[in-house]
Amino acid sequence: MFKIALIGAGRIGQVHAENIANHPNTCLASVVEPYDANAEIVCNKYGAQRQSVEQVMQDETIDGICICSATNTHADMIELAANAGKAIFCEKPIDLDLSRVRDCLAVVSNHQAPLLVGFNRRFDPQFVELKRQFEQGKIGKASTLSIISRDPEPPSAQYVNVSGGMFRDMSIHDLDMARFILGEDPVSIYATGSCLIDPEIGQAGDIDTGVIVMRFPSGAIATIQNSRQSGYGYDQRIELHGELGALQAMNKNENHIVSMTDTGTETAKPMHFFLERYKDAYQVEWQHFVDVLNGQSPSCSGYDGEIALQLADSAIVSLKTGRCIDL
């Protein structure tokens, strides 16, 4: 039984807390959380104790830490945990600043600390199945990859201000997914975007609608479509086209009921947001962290986190200059 300390017990922290507690090989030993309310929810529910960061790092019984705190604390927590010899799970991103990410990963590397970066979609059974069928040769060599990712509704302007912008905050998942599916790193990136949904997002200097195109060494081309507002729930689709055909990962809907009436045939909307849509992905992700605790290499490394951020940064340059950026 591995003892886990949770750093940050907000919305996503509580998702991980449940998975930690339910997994037969991990238990939630302690929680670091500045807000009493969040800390109490998790401590009461899973019998965890509340600790400070220093206590966690000095506590030799703690095997792994799960970092779900604010983005600007991630790199510090990773470094402390690497120093303390803990296995590290960290929610994306490592940091919004690429040089800070690189410094942090150097520390991780020096300590040979096991680090799993939480690109949760890599663990989604749908996308894993699509990749499996692709790798089994069902559609031959890849030609075009299309990733659609739309949030149900825009975040607050306040959040947008600290998010690093849509490409670093939201598209970063899709940039990683393109590398994950195709198994290669892009050679160029072009991006464009608009503010069409919420003028406050535009006033904050950001976009809410974007398209990114990446070229890969094999000649394959990936297209990403992002929106901060779908109007119909969480739109998370992937379509991969190859020599012999195409594979699609469709949305998961709220239910499987079809109604047929005078106004048409109706099915349910896609599940509302990531907590519902990726509920099982978070479980698979945690299972993989248990594998990492048992000595396996992380399938989503610090390097993957670094590259995704670098691509997001290049997308921003492309958006601002109107140029296609060579990588």
CB of 132 to its own copies, least distance (A): 9
How far is Cα of residue 192 from the mean position of the Cα atoms in its chain? 22
Residue 53 binds its own copies, judged by CB under 8 A: no
Which of 57, 62, 247, 281 is the binder for its own copies (CB under 8 A)? 247
Residue 45 binds its own copies, judged by CB under 8 A: yes
Which of 54, 184, 266, 280 is the binder for its own copies (CB under 8 A)? 266
Which of 37, 265, 295, 297 is the binder for its own copies (CB under 8 A)? 265
Strand partners of residue 221: 144, 215
Q: What is the dihedral of CA 43, 44, 49, 51, to 10 degrees?
A: 40
Question: Could you give the angle at the alpha carbon of 198 between the alpha carbons of 13 and 98, nearest 5°?
Answer: 50
How many Å apart are CA 213 and CA 193, to the nearest integer?
Answer: 12
Which of 53, 213, 275, 284 is the binder for its own copies (CB under 8 A)? 213
Question: Which one-letter amino acid corresponds to residue 235?
Answer: D
| Interacting span for its own copies (CB under 8 A) from 60-68, 100-108, 236-244, 304-312 | 236-244
Helix (H) or strand (E) holding 39: helix 36-46
Distances (CA, A) of 261 to 159, 253, 254, 266: 42, 20, 20, 8
How many Å apart are CA 83 and CA 80, to the nearest integer?
Answer: 5
Residue 119 CB: number of other CB atoms within 10 A?
24
Which residue carries 């195109």 as its tokens? 213
Nearer CB in complex with its own copies: 11/132: 132
| Interacting span for its own copies (CB under 8 A) from 128-136, 173-181, 281-289, 291-299 | 128-136
CB of 76 to its own copies, least distance (A): 34
How many Å apart are CA 296 and CA 319, to the nearest integer?
Answer: 39
Residue 279 binds its own copies, judged by CB under 8 A: no
Residue 139 binds its own copies, judged by CB under 8 A: yes
CB of 229 to its own copies, least distance (A): 7
Nearer CB in complex with its own copies: 116/147: 147
Nearer CB in complex with its own copies: 208/306: 208
User: What is the per-residue binding string for its own copies in 281-310, x denoting contact by CB under 8 A?
Assistant: ------------------------------
Residue 125 binds its own copies, judged by CB under 8 A: yes
* Helix spans in 193-236 (H): 199-203
Total interface residues for its own copies by CB under 8 A: 73
